[in-house]
């Protein structure tokens, strides 16, 4: 863990304003970064968010490059996201990899009960990203699934899996990925990466998994997340909000729901601390796993079986 000390705080202070004075530094993630820094500038309080990483970490360099590219893309398209203030992607000035951004107001905590308005607004927020067509580019590579830098399949081979997850992996391996235009995707879209003031959507955080891909990468991820925290009806409300905002039906939904469910650990106890951190201390690992499995089972039941090579093409 890297904490913002000495040289790094000096770099951030200089980037904020001349004669800015640090008033406090607060962890935004259970004692780790990112960090909320509060400054006094000309008798006013200014807050910024600082992300820091290891200079000698290839993974950190990749994630920071993506975060910066995504935030620039979001600003160019006037999406609701933090704005860049300063960056040091080689550590020469800050001593570490460092990205300084504005603060989005509100909270990312997940409510105990979902309102239909909030679920539909989640879907609409995702649609705002997916209205932006784009090809893969520097910093924003092709994304074929959520959390693309985490190898969930390898983890299942190492730590164990379930019959349902094995069935899902087999079905997906025999199903061609849907083709279509690539759009701007967040790559890790779940409620904990969104900010709200009550039921009013404010913006999206944490863009280090972003890129170009099918809208299904995000839509499936978001649907899986709300199904896990609230149940299957919430996932349908997210879909309704997305379709209303984008102005069309979502295609290949079952495929992307399966991909999203496969982008979770076998035992959801691994994600329980993160869920609890977002305020849902009422949930336990068994409930999360059972709801994930119900979401996956529903998706598999809707997924068309792969056509055998001997099956005549209906168009012929």
What pLDDT digit, counting tens, does each position of 278-306 carry?
999 999 999 999 999 999 999 999 998 87
How much of the chain is helix, strand and coil, in % rounded to 5?
Answer: 45, 20, 40
Decide: 169 and 285 in contact? Cβ < 8 Å: no
Across 19-33, 92-106, 128-142, 224-238, least confident range: 19-33
* Integer Cα distance of 254 and 261 in angstroms: 11
**Tens digits of residue pLDDT in 130-153:** 999 999 999 999 999 999 999 999
Band (314; pLDDT cuts 50, 70, 90): very low
Band (4; pLDDT cuts 50, 70, 90): low
Residue 71 pLDDT more than 90?
A: yes
* Integer Cα distance of 141 and 21 in angstroms: 39
Q: For 233, how many CA atoms within 13 A lie in the half-sphere containing its CB? A: 6
Q: How far apart are the first and last CA of the chain?
A: 60
pLDDT of residue 307: 63
Place of tokens 């004669």: 19
C-alpha pair distances (Å), 97 with each of 1, 32, 212, 242, 305: 13, 15, 24, 36, 47
Q: Is 13 or 312 the better-scoring residue by pLDDT?
A: 13
Residue 239 pLDDT more than 90?
A: yes
* Beta-carbon contacts of residue 84 (< 8 Å; ≥ 6 apart): 68, 71, 72, 75, 99, 100, 101
Residue 20 pLDDT more than 50?
A: yes
Structural tokens at position 2? 């890297």
Beta bridge partners of 204: 194
Residue 273 pLDDT more than 80?
A: yes
pLDDT averaged over every residue in the chain:
93
pLDDT of residue 160: 94
Decide: 265 and 155 in contact? Cβ < 8 Å: yes
Decide: 219 and 250 in contact? Cβ < 8 Å: yes
Band (308; pLDDT cuts 50, 70, 90): low
Band (313; pLDDT cuts 50, 70, 90): very low
Band (109; pLDDT cuts 50, 70, 90): very high
Residue 241 pLDDT more than 90?
A: yes
Q: Is 167 or 19 the better-scoring residue by pLDDT?
A: 167
pLDDT of residue 113: 94
- 3-class DSSP state for residue 282? coil
pLDDT of residue 28: 87
Q: Which of 146, 275, 142, 148 is nearest to 218 (CA)?
A: 146
pLDDT of residue 315: 36
Structural tokens at position 99? 């990205």
Structural tokens at position 56? 């000698």
Residue 310 pLDDT more than 50?
A: no
Query: What share of the chain has pLDDT > 70, as a percent?
Result: 94
């Amino acid at each position: 863990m890297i904490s913002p000390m000495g040289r790094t705080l000096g770099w951030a202070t200089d980037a904020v304003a001349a004669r800015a004075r640090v008033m406090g530094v607060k962890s935004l993630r259970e004692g780790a970064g990112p960090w909320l820094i509060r400054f006094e500038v000309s008798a006013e309080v200014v807050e910024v968010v600082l992300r820091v990483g290891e200079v000698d970490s290839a993974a950190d360099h990749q994630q920071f490059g993506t975060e910066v590219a995504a935030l620039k893309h979001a600003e160019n398209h006037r999406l609701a996201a933090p704005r860049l203030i300063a960056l040091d992607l080689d550590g020469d000035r800050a001593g570490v990899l460092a990205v300084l951004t504005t603060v989005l107001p509100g909270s990312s905590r997940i409510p105990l009960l979902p309102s239909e308005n909030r679920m539909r607004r989640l879907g609409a927020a995702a649609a705002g990203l997916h209205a932006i067509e784009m090809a893969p580019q520097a910093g924003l590579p092709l994304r074929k699934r959520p959390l693309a830098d985490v190898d969930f399949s390898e983890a299942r081979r190492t730590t164990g899996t379930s019959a349902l997850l094995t069935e899902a992996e087999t079905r997906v391996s025999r199903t061609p990925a849907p083709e279509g235009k690539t759009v701007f995707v967040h790559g890790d879209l779940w409620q904990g990466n969104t900010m709200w003031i009550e039921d009013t959507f404010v913006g999206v955080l944490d863009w280090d998994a972003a890129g170009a891909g099918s809208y299904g990468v995000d839509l499936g991820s978001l649907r899986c997340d709300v199904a896990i925290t609230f149940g299957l009806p919430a996932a349908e409300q997210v879909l309704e909000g997305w379709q209303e905002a984008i102005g069309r039906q979502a295609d290949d939904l079952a495929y992307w729901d399966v991909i999203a469910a496969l982008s979770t650990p076998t035992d959801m106890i691994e994600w329980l601390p993160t869920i609890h951190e977002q305020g849902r201390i009422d949930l336990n690992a068994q409930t999360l796993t059972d709801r994930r499995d119900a979401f996956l089972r529903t998706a598999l039941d809707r997924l068309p079986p792969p056509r055998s090579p001997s099956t005549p093409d209906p168009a012929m």
